[in-house]
Structure 1
Amino acid sequence: MVERTKPSTAQQLAAFLEQSWRPIALLVALFVAWWVVTAAELVEPYLVPSPGDTIAAITANPDYFWQHTWTTTYETLLGFVIATVIGVFAALVMVQSATVEKTLYPLLLFAQVIPKIAIAPLFVVWLGFGLGPKIVVAVLMAFFPVVISMVTGLKSVDPEMLELSSTMGAKPAQTFWKIRFPASLPHLFSGLKVAATMAVTGAVVGEFVGADAGLGFVILQANGNLDTPVLFAGLLIMSLMGVLLFVLVEWLERLVLPWHASRRGDNVTTTF
């Protein structure tokens, strides 16, 4: 008999450090390389600013960056939530009906391969210069990973489990909620992690086309003024936003699926 025990706080911290020290070390190495290149003046400062100048650009005007960061964060979160809801619903419909799946799947692929920057101006024309176009682009960017991962998860259920539930007289709704849906969650969360970063990109792409606020607006303004410290600051904040949203989804995965997380790292105690 195998009994899984909940790890202590110290064990969780040790596991976190074990999993995260490599990417942290890589980021530190890249930061040091960035600092060395700029300190040695291997490139002109107007091309690549130093880390100190980039951070100074943020600290010199924190309210400015906070306002635009909050705008992009709001667009990203709203687009991510909408994409998740629509994507899960579309996946459920596609799995239930082969006709719907054969009809929608090519359309989804067609919509995915279209560059969002190419169609973003249309949303500005249709929806104006408010939050609407940015949220729509964020939804389009995040939707595809959600629906594909959910469809994959719903189809990856062990057929023997479905036969067993049918033999025991389980109704379709019971089979779905007790077997299909829980089994699809690991796949769904994998798609959500990808969608989280794509939503950030979508919001910024929407801001590139037409906006008076947001990190995309900051980057465009800085590029036009050749203000590379502010430009790099905007890129840095945008990257951190995507990382934080990814980590948030991963934390929710461990909270919602402790059984799945335990298979990847928790201690196992064997008793006889």
Structure 2
Amino acid sequence: MRKVKGMLPAALLIAAFLFIWEAAARGMNMMFILPPPTGVLSKLWELKEPLLFEHLPATLAIIIIGLAISILLGTGIAVWMSISPTVEKALYPIIISSQMIPIIALAPIFVLWFGYSIWSKVVVTVLITFFPITVNTYDGLQSGSKELKELMMTMGAGKKEVFIKLLVPSSLPHFYSGVKVAVTLSVIGAAIGEWLGAQAGLGYFSRRMMTQFDGAAVFAPIVLLSAIGIVLFIIVKIIENRSLKWRKSG
């Protein structure tokens, strides 16, 4: 009951936003540019077969592969930097600088390199998502209590034991924070890659409908993209809550 009450303000705000959107779209009588929510849902139902069975799987494949690579790459780099100050000094500025380059400007280059295959979109997704995972995990590994570390080493623990039993647990909340940011960004990365060069996918479908001036059909795949981001975020949150029960009990 408490959770339901906690969600009530957000639900009311969303309902008010949708009502205003519906009224404004119908009042301006320009539904081909700004379709009302009811029109988007109607178009989503009308296009459910190509969207759900052709374009949604293509986008999901990009997101899942990109996230898997980002998690492995991001955590690996974070661990490497945490155990080697030299590596940290060499890689950290490069990692920060990589986010200063507009990814949308690099996406056409990836299309030239990889063609319209899935890998051009995966690379875009990885470039967007690995950063929050890397930085948050590294910060988590650095946040371990120095007092506990000194105590463990005084009691005969080696670097491996300190890393596994102290640094890894202390970094998990930061790691999950990075992953929660990354899952939402992965949807954006996949959509950007599909917009600039693809043969299937929700982003590709939205771009194709834009050339036909079908506003409702442009918004329909965007609704699915938003739903993917929300579902992935909830999944990560559930995994986080189950694996960090000790934090709540503490």
**Shorter-chain TM-score: what band?**
over 0.9
Partner of 2:183: 196
Mapping 1:1-272, distance limit 5 Å: 14-39=1-26, 41-42=27-28, 44-66=30-52, 67-262=54-249
RMSD: 1.4
Bigger shift: 248-257 or 28-37?
Answer: 28-37
Alpha-carbon distance between aligned partners in 2 of 1:18 and 1:177, rounded to the nearest angstrom: 40
Alpha-carbon distance between aligned partners in 1 of 2:245 and 2:171, rounded to the nearest angstrom: 14
Amino acid paired to 2:129: A
Distance 1:261 1:115, change over 3 A: farther
Distance 1:80 1:91, change over 3 A: same
Residue 146 of structure 1 and its aligned partner are, at CA, apart by: 0.2
Residue 15 of structure 1 and its aligned partner are, at CA, apart by: 4.4
Residue 18 of structure 1 and its aligned partner are, at CA, apart by: 4.1
Partner of 1:269: none
Q: Give the structure with the larger helix fraction.
A: 2
Distance 1:72 1:37, change over 3 A: same
Amino acid paired to 2:17: L
Q: Is there any run of 5+ residues in structure 2 with no aligned partner, and where?
A: none
Partner of 1:270: none
Deviation string, structure 1 residues 71-123 (Cα, Å, up to 9, x no partner): 11111111011101110000000011111111111111111111111001111
Moved over 3 A (4+): none
Residue 58 of structure 1 and its aligned partner are, at CA, apart by: 1.1
Alpha-carbon distance between aligned partners in 2 of 1:25 and 1:262, rounded to the nearest angstrom: 32
Amino acid paired to 1:175: V
Alpha-carbon distance between aligned partners in 1 of 2:9 and 2:143, rounded to the nearest angstrom: 32
Deviation string, structure 1 residues 130-179 (Cα, Å, up to 9, x no partner): 10011111111100000000010000111111011111111111111111
Alpha-carbon distance between aligned partners in 1 of 2:22 and 2:173, rounded to the nearest angstrom: 39
TM-score, normalization by structure 1: 0.88
Three-state SS of the structure 2 residue aligned to 1:153 is: helix
Alpha-carbon distance between aligned partners in 1 of 2:155 and 2:231, rounded to the nearest angstrom: 44
Q: Does 1 or 2 have the higher relative contact order (CA < 8 Å, sep 6+)?
A: 1
Aligned residues: 249
Alpha-carbon distance between aligned partners in 1 of 2:167 and 2:11, rounded to the nearest angstrom: 37
Alpha-carbon distance between aligned partners in 2 of 1:149 and 1:191, rounded to the nearest angstrom: 5
Q: Percent identity?
A: 34
Residue 61 of structure 1 and its aligned partner are, at CA, apart by: 2.1
Residue 19 of structure 1 and its aligned partner are, at CA, apart by: 3.9
Amino acid paired to 2:228: M
Residue 44 of structure 1 and its aligned partner are, at CA, apart by: 1.3
Alpha-carbon distance between aligned partners in 2 of 1:154 and 1:18, rounded to the nearest angstrom: 36
Bigger shift: 46-55 or 189-198?
Answer: 46-55
Q: Is there any run of 5+ residues in structure 1 with no aligned partner, and where?
A: 1-13, 264-272
TM-score, normalization by structure 2: 0.95
Distance 1:17 1:259, change over 3 A: farther
Residue 250 of structure 1 and its aligned partner are, at CA, apart by: 0.8
